[in-house]
Amino acid sequence: MASRFQNKTVVLTGAASGIALCCAQKYADEGGRVCMVDVNEEGVLAAAAAICAKGGTAVGVRADIRDYAQVKAAVALAVERFGGVDIMVNCAGGASSRVKGYVGVPYHELPVEVIDWGLDVNLKGAVYFCHAVLGQMIKQKGGVFINLGSVDGLTGSTCLDYGAAKSAMIGLTKSLTVIGSPHGIRACCVSPGPVLTRPEMARMKTRLGRAAETHEVADLILYLSSDQAAFITGANYVIDGGRSCGGI
């Protein structure tokens, strides 16, 4: 268990906070070299420095995943610094209904810039990273993609672009499986219900009567990206305390 990720390089987007940050810490604890990507430069550099201070191997990169040149540069840095990319975790995201200044605005009144932000961060950025990493993984004859969906991608959401983008992460995962399997590349989607990366997520109902702790989702991501899950690919894993069963 202690060395599931020894000599593995993991690139994570959205790694300045929340689920990706928790994953980065856990990968590093288990011997992984982590390349932490986020648009929040101060946050991601501090997070990577904290991992290094504990004896882990990490680098923080400021990149906006909506910009392909920045995505390519982040992947190039991981390859240059650590020699390749073994695991790619597409985690950056968030609902456009939470964009500053627009909370509580009815969806049909949101300006198109807000909708574009939602689609770009939750879908386009992940497709960009998959494209930028795929060639490297094919060269390495293996690798794993983990894409973050959401229970909203299964049940629908009051935020149209978020629900649509999160459903699309399942299609992205299946398509990566079609392309990647002959090259030893696996792909999984993880679709959480409410996760306590923000206290207000506790208000979202689940059958189990609580939201997930961040580490519970991170543990699933680490398992799916480890060799213990070598026969799992093209699958969507729902971790939602039964929320998608409905009736709550």
Work out whether 17 is an interface residue with ligand NAD (CB under 6 A): yes
Beta carbons within 10 angstroms of residue 111's beta carbon: 12
Given the complex with ligand NAD, which of 159 and 185 has the nearer CB atom? Answer: 159
Q: Where are the beta strands (DSSP E) in 156-242?
A: 185-192, 235-239
Residues between 79 and 108 with contacts to ligand NAD, criterion CB under 6 A: 91-94
Beta carbons within 10 angstroms of residue 190's beta carbon: 25
Work out whether 38 is an interface residue with ligand NAD (CB under 6 A): yes
Token representation of residue 139: 């060269």
Work out whether 16 is an interface residue with ligand NAD (CB under 6 A): yes
Q: How far is the CB of 123 from ligand NAD (least distance, A)?
A: 10
Work out whether 148 is an interface residue with ligand NAD (CB under 6 A): yes
Token representation of residue 107: 């969806």
Among the listed ranges 35-43, 76-84, 107-115, 138-146, the one in contact with ligand NAD (CB under 6 A) is: 35-43
Kindly give the pairing relationship between strand 33-38 and strand 9-13: parallel
| Half-sphere exposure for 67 (CA within 13 Å, toward CB) | 10
| Half-sphere exposure for 165 (CA within 13 Å, toward CB) | 27
Work out whether 161 is an interface residue with ligand NAD (CB under 6 A): no
The yes-or-no answer on residue 162 being catalytic is: yes
Task: By CB under 6 A, name the binding residues for ligand NAD.
Answer: 13-14, 16-19, 38-40, 64-66, 91-94, 121, 148, 150, 192, 194-195, 197, 201
Catalytic residues: 162
